[in-house]
Structure 1
Amino acid sequence: MSGAGALSIDPEELSVLRQTAPSLRVAVVAARWHKRIMGGLTAGAERFLEEVGIRHDDVTRVAAPGSFELPVLAARAARSHDAVVALGVVIRGGTPHFEYVCSAATDGLTKVSVEAETPVGFGLLTCDDEQQALDRAGLEGSREDKGYEAAHAAVAAATQLRTLS
């Protein structure tokens, strides 16, 4: 069930992130399909980045034509950034297109993260219908905020990578 086990950031973790995150270089790579849903995802990611002290002007924003193009743009961003937040939405239709795009984007983003050793926050919604996407987009009335969660994952992992260096 969606919403079960939703993200809860411990105040101590938030304090640590506020001390370390402002020095991170972060890119937000967002697809342009489904404008309303993407607006919510992007706003959620930016809200988290602001909460931990990463200034709006210090975030690189990259517009992807669609979710299929997220991996190549994330790969380029990973070369010069400490963390990448990848945001997109794919809604099931009546053809196998959904499976192809979801699989390619998921596999591609995983490969980028591992090969570049740069965290990629996974904010790709793969939903059966538009309502499921709206419920996860962080909009008013949404049950979840996957953009916020993806930004948290990328920043928290980047912070941990610094401790491993």
Structure 2
Amino acid sequence: MAGSGAPELGINPADLKRCAHLRVAIVAAQWHTEVMDALVTNAVKALAEHGIDEPTLVRVPGCFELPVAAHALAKNRYDAIVALGVVIRGGTPHFEYVCQAATDGLTKVAVESGIPVGFGVLTTDDEQQAIDRAGLPGSAEDKGREAALSAVATALTLKNLGER
């Protein structure tokens, strides 16, 4: 895991009041229910802690479908999108194709729309690595929370730059 050296994610206190006015959407895959439920729950909780009480939640079958749903949300002018998913390596090249497609697609949505996409797609070698990153009790990391806060912090930065 890359947990060492990660920044302490937080929102500048001067920007906290502005969070409540943000429109945030979460797009989440359905594969790997235990991990996905934790990622979504922790993202929603992190948003609520920052005054964003009702993010839009959209579920899609898998990580390959995340970019098209994020694109549709971006067209609806959300201020930030949180993309959550899990891809666990198997014995075929499927892992590489899905990871690359999700990463490239979500990057394209963010760059072309100018709307930040918090990247909470876990790409792991096994299920235990996913559990360790999902923010479950005993997990070393909480990628749902991190993705949500990254999207919100970037949205606020763009607003401060006069971009949105």
**TM-score, L = length of structure 2:** 0.94
Query: Could you tell me which of 148, 152, 157 is aligned with 2:149?
Result: 152
- The normalised TM-score by structure 1 is 0.93
What is the number of equivalent residue pairs in this alignment?
Answer: 161
- The Cα of 1:14 is off from its aligned counterpart by 4.6
Q: Superposition pairs for residues 14-163 of structure 1, below 5 Å?
A: 14-55=12-53, 58-80=54-76, 81-163=78-160
Retained in 2: the 8 A contact 1:6–1:144? Answer: no
Matched residues, percent identical? Answer: 59
Find the residue that maps to 1:23 and give its secondary structure.
coil
Q: Of Structure 1 and Structure 2, which has the larger fraction of its residues in helix? A: 1
**Consecutive unaligned residues in structure 1, runs of 5 or more:** none
User: Considering only aligned residues, what root-mean-square deviation do their CA atoms show, in Å?
Assistant: 1.2
Point out where structure 2 has 5 or more consecutive residues left out of the alignment. Answer: none
Q: Which amino acid aligns with 1:68?
A: F
Task: List per-residue Cα deviations over 1:9-34 (Å, max 9, x = no partner).
Answer: 35xx3523421111000000000000
Check conservation: 1:22, 1:52, Cα contact below 8 A.
yes
